[in-house]
Amino acid sequence: MLEHAIAILPELWVALGQTMTMLGIGLLAAVLLGGPLGVLLFLIADGQSLQSRPAALLVGWLVNTVRSFPFIILLVALVPFTRWLVGTSIGPLAASVSLSIAAIAYFARLVEQNLKDVPRGVIEAAHAMGASELQIVLRVLLVEARAGLVLALTVLSISFLSYSAVAGVVGGGGIGDLAIRYGYYRFETDVMVLTVAVLIALVQLIQFTGTRIARRIDQR
C-alpha cells in the first residue's frame, strides 16, 4: 500500500499548492477587509467614540449571519455569486471566494474582541492629548492589541486550513480533494494517512510561528 502514497507525491505537491493558494487568498481578504470591519465594530459599539446603535446592530447582524452558516452550506449557497465573480464554481480560485467571505466575518469578530481588551485608560489618554480617531486606531488600538491580533490570525489560519480541506469535497481542489478521491473513494488508507499527516504538520507549523511572533512583539 505504501506505493500508492509514493505514486501520488506529485499530485500531493499540486494539492498543497492549491491549499496554500486558498488559504493565502482567504487570509489576505480577512486582513484587508475583516480587520477594518472589526475596528468599525469596536468603534460603533456602545460607549465608544463613534457609538451608533443602529449601525452596530446592522453591521453585527451581517457579520453574525455569515458566521452562522456551516462552511459547506455557505460554499454551496455562494455558487451563483462565485460563478459570476470568477467564471467557475469549482477549483481553488472558486473555493477562495467562499473562504474569503467567511474569513472576513470570522476575523472581524476576533479583531473586535482583541480591541476590547485594550485598557480604556490608554484610549482616554490619547483622546486627552488631541489624537484623531485614525491616530488612535493606528497608534494606540492596533499597537496595544498587536500580539492578540497575531494570535487571532493564527487561530483563523488553522481553522481555515480545515475549511480549505472541506472545499475539496465539492471540487475545490487541494489536500481535501486528494484525500476524498484516493483515501475515501478508492479506499487507499495510506494516502489518507499521508494527507492527514501533512495537515497536522501544517497546523503545528502555523501555531508555532504565530506563537513565536506574538511573544516577540508583546510589550506587556
Give the separation between CA 121 and CA 35, rounded to whole angstroms: 23
The pLDDT of 159-183, averaged and rounded, is 76
Q: Name the amino acid, one letter, at 208.
A: F
Give the separation between CA 94 and CA 91, rounded to whole angstroms: 5
* C-alpha cell read off for 150: 497575531
Q: Which of 43, 78, 41 is nearest to 61 (CA)?
A: 41
Residue of 131 and 56 predicted with greater confidence? 56
Query: Where do the DSSP E strands lie in the chain?
Result: none
In this predicted structure, the answer to whether residue 3 has a pLDDT above a threshold of 70 is no
Give the separation between CA 9 and CA 169, rounded to whole angstroms: 20
When pLDDT is cut at 50, 70 and 90, the band that residue 219 belongs to is low
Residue of 70 and 110 predicted with greater confidence? 110
Give the separation between CA 103 and CA 107, rounded to whole angstroms: 6
116-167 pLDDT per residue, tens: 888 887 887 877 887 777 888 888 888 888 999 999 999 999 988 888 877 7
Give the separation between CA 176 and CA 12, rounded to whole angstroms: 10
**Most confident option among 46-50, 173-177, 206-210:** 206-210
- Residue 74's Cβ-side half-sphere holds a number of Cα atoms within 13 Å equal to 21
When pLDDT is cut at 50, 70 and 90, the band that residue 110 belongs to is very high
Q: Quick one: pLDDT at residue 109?
A: 94
* C-alpha cell read off for 190: 495510506
CB 136, CB 119: distance < 8 Å: no
In this predicted structure, the answer to whether residue 73 has a pLDDT above a threshold of 70 is yes
Q: Quick one: pLDDT at residue 169?
A: 67
Other CB atoms within a 10 A radius of the CB of residue 150 amount to 21
Residues 6+ apart with CB under 8 A from 203: 158, 161
C-alpha distances (whole Å) from 132 to each of 31, 32, 40, 118, 196 are 23, 22, 15, 17, 49
Residues 6+ apart with CB under 8 A from 47: none
Domains of the chain, first to last: 2-217 (1.10.3720.10)
CB 206, CB 158: distance < 8 Å: yes
Looking at the chain, the whole-number percentage of residues with pLDDT higher than 90 is: 31
Q: Quick one: pLDDT at residue 170?
A: 66
C-alpha distances (whole Å) from 112 to each of 104, 117, 132, 142 are 12, 9, 19, 11
In this predicted structure, the answer to whether residue 111 has a pLDDT above a threshold of 70 is yes
Q: Quick one: pLDDT at residue 140?
A: 84
Give the separation between CA 197 and CA 135, rounded to whole angstroms: 45
